[in-house]
């Protein structure tokens, strides 16, 4: 038996679920299919769920700031209760160290001024007043503990940092996705789990629907690839992988969860930190712990993997990024075997996502979004809905890009910025910072 929908969304992570919510509100009959047992169960569940407003490009900054207000009033944005309760934004702010690598954050400061986003210029004394356990010596370039000179200062000290008050983290990324699922279902959206897509059916250059591993066929004139680390495999099924200037790949990443600095309540008084001098970032975590990730400096090897075949066991990399952060936080405890999570990012060569149509009519892309797009999910859902509706009405997005107006900022955003056929954006940080 074949069932039919207006649109099939492959993936039920935070972005796929927000797409269902936004499309359902516009009257689309949608179905999300996901091979996992629940919404947000894949890479979303392992997200650091950091909400921030600073990006390396102006359009990325505007998108992030627009999204900030949705997270700030998360329950209000959804407008629907959830039997599990709503995820919450833990407001703590974000401190980014000024370093030669980020040019003292001059570009980001210009973005803040243009968009009227709050920011504060902190001196070294300001940093130590808030975070007295910090060592502000320079250690760059980031090194592995196995390299000569590791943990030896290289001269000078951190000149200060920029504090972004409109920042924090969602306390439970998987719950936030369940919240969106319930909101989407309230508007008629459907979700189907443990459903593995094996084929993208098409005819005469137009998508027709999908086939699942159990042999069932589901028809729709629109199919959206929001499959996260499996997005490249879905593109191959659709026959569009070799028709894009940019591709996506699955990158294995490790994040550690360790006790916070001794004698300091990091959960209550801490903040998100981003530090390209040591190549690590951190944020507070429940239980007075601290989450430690890598900013992907050159010393860290990139481990590109098959999304279906990779190890989830922690390696020395998890301990190494903790040791790098401990240069900045000398009282940080370093467990011999840190605990944490190992998961996958789906990334493009410039770490900017692809929100676009494809060369197969009716087949759309919201991919390459891991690591830095969780925070953009609500507006990504709105923007993709606008893109799909425009293209389905005949607009040639490749030659006449869809312009989406950010509702709160009243600012037009050229969706072509996220094109699959763009040149690599040299303004990108080429890292998890987007």
- Residue 328 confidence (pLDDT) above 70: yes
Could you report the per-residue pLDDT of 215-242, keeping only the tens digit for each?
999 999 999 999 999 999 999 999 999 9
- Residue 140 confidence (pLDDT) above 50: yes
* Dihedral, 225, 226, 227, 229 alpha carbons, nearest 10: 110
DSSP run (H or E) holding 191: strand 190-193
Sheet of strand 223-225: strand arrangement:
190-193, 30-34, 7-10, 223-225, 363-367, 354-357
Whether 214 is covered by a domain: the verdict is yes
Higher pLDDT, 25 or 46: 25
CA–CA dist 296, 158 (Å, integer): 20
- Same domain? 36 vs 180: yes
DSSP 108: H
- Same domain? 13 vs 122: no
Whether 220 is covered by a domain: the verdict is yes
Whether 231 is covered by a domain: the verdict is yes
- Same domain? 58 vs 100: no
Whether 369 is covered by a domain: the verdict is yes
The pLDDT of 311-328, averaged and rounded, is: 95
Q: Which residue has the tokens 């039997």?
A: 83
Angle between helices 14-25 and 377-392 (to 10 degrees): 50
- Same domain? 256 vs 328: yes
The pLDDT of 363-382, averaged and rounded, is: 95
Q: What SS3 state is found at 7?
A: strand
Could you report the per-residue pLDDT of 334-346, keeping only the tens digit for each?
888 889 999 999 9
Give residue 426's pLDDT.
78
- Same domain? 49 vs 36: yes
Q: What SS3 state is found at 42?
A: coil
**Interacting residues of 146 by C-beta distance below 8 A, sequence separation 6+:** none
Return the CA Rg of the chain: 21
Q: Which residue has the tokens 């312009």?
A: 403
Name residue 167's beta-bridge partners: none
Give residue 69's pLDDT.
97
Question: What is this structure's pTM?
Answer: 0.95
**Interacting residues of 197 by C-beta distance below 8 A, sequence separation 6+:** 10, 33, 35, 210, 211, 212, 213, 227, 234, 237
Domain of 154: which CATH number?
Answer: 3.30.9.10
The domain boundary, picked from 347, 376, 393, lies at 347
Whether 432 is covered by a domain: the verdict is no
Give residue 430's pLDDT.
64
Q: Beta 3-4 vs 94-97: how paired, if at all?
A: unpaired
- Same domain? 301 vs 357: no
- Same domain? 182 vs 77: yes
- Residue 433 confidence (pLDDT) above 60: no
- Residue 160 confidence (pLDDT) above 80: yes
Range of the domain at 148: 94-165+249-347
Domain of 230: which CATH number?
Answer: 3.50.50.60
The closest alpha carbon to 378, from 401, 351, 407, 402, belongs to: 407
Mean pLDDT of the chain: 95
Give residue 434's pLDDT.
41
- Same domain? 62 vs 103: no
The pLDDT of 249-256, averaged and rounded, is: 95
Share of the chain above pLDDT 70, in %: 98
CA–CA dist 351, 406 (Å, integer): 22
CA–CA dist 109, 121 (Å, integer): 9
Higher pLDDT, 24 or 101: 24
The pLDDT of 191-211, averaged and rounded, is: 98
- Same domain? 341 vs 232: no
- Same domain? 187 vs 111: no
Indicate the number of domains in the chain. Answer: 2
What's the pLDDT band for 427 if we cut at 50, 70, 90?
A: confident
What's the pLDDT band for 157 if we cut at 50, 70, 90?
A: very high
- Same domain? 185 vs 292: no
**What is the token pair recorded at 269?**
């008084």
Whether 425 is covered by a domain: the verdict is no
What's the pLDDT band for 2 if we cut at 50, 70, 90?
A: low
- Same domain? 203 vs 235: yes
The domain boundary, picked from 347, 381, 405, lies at 347
The domain boundary, picked from 347, 365, 390, lies at 347
Return the percent helix, strand and coil in the chain, to nearest 5. 30, 25, 45
């Amino acid at each position: 038996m074949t069932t039919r929908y207006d649109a099939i969304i492959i993936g039920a992570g935070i972005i796929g679920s927000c797409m269902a919510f936004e499309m359902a509100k516009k009257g689309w009959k949608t179905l999300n299919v996901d091979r996992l047992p629940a919404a947000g169960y894949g890479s979303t569940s392992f997200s650091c769920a950091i909400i921030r407003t600073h990006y390396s490009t102006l359009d990325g900054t505007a998108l992030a700031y627009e999204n900030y207000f949705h997270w700030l009033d998360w329950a209000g944005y959804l407008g629907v209760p959830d039997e599990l309760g709503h995820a919450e934004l833990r407001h703590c702010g974000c401190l980014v160290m000024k370093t030669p690598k980020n040019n003292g954050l001059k570009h980001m400061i210009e973005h803040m001024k243009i968009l009227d986003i709050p920011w504060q210029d902190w001196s070294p004394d300001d940093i130590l007043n808030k975070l007295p356990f910090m060592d502000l010596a320079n250690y760059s370039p980031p090194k592995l503990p196995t390299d000569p000179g590791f943990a030896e200062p290289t001269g000078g000290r951190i000149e200060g940092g920029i504090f972004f008050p409109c920042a924090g983290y969602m306390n439970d990324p998987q719950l936030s996705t369940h919240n969106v699922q319930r909101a989407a279902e309230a508007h008629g959206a459907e979700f189907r789990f443990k459903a593995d897509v094996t084929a993208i059916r098409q005819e005469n250059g137009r998508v027709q629907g999908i086939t699942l591993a159990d042999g069932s066929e589901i028809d729709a004139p629109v199919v959206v690839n929001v499959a996260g680390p499996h997005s490249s495999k879905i593109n191959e099924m659709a026959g569009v992988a070799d028709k894009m200037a940019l591709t996506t790949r699955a990158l294995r990443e490790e994040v550690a969860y360790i006790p916070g600095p001794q004698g300091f309540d990091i959960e209550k008084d801490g903040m998100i930190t981003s530090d390209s001098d040591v190549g690590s970032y951190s944020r507070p975590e429940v239980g007075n712990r601290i989450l430690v990730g890598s900013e992907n400096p050159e010393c860290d090897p990139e481990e590109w993997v098959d999304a279906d075949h990779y190890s989830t066991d922690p390696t020395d990399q998890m301990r190494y990024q903790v040791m790098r952060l401990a240069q900045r936080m000398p009282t940080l405890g370093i467990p011999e075997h840190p605990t944490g999570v190992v998961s996958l990012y789906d990334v493009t060569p410039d770490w900017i996502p692809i929100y676009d149509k494809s060369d197969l009519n009716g087949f759309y892309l919201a991919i390459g979004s891991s690591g830095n797009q969780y925070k953009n999910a609500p507006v990504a859902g709105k923007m993709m809905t606008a893109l799909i509706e425009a293209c389905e009405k005949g607009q040639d997005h490749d030659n006449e890009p869809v312009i989406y107006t950010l509702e709160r900022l009243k600012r037009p955003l050229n969706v072509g910025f996220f094109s699959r056929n763009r040149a690599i954006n040299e303004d990108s940080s080429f890292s998890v910072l987007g």
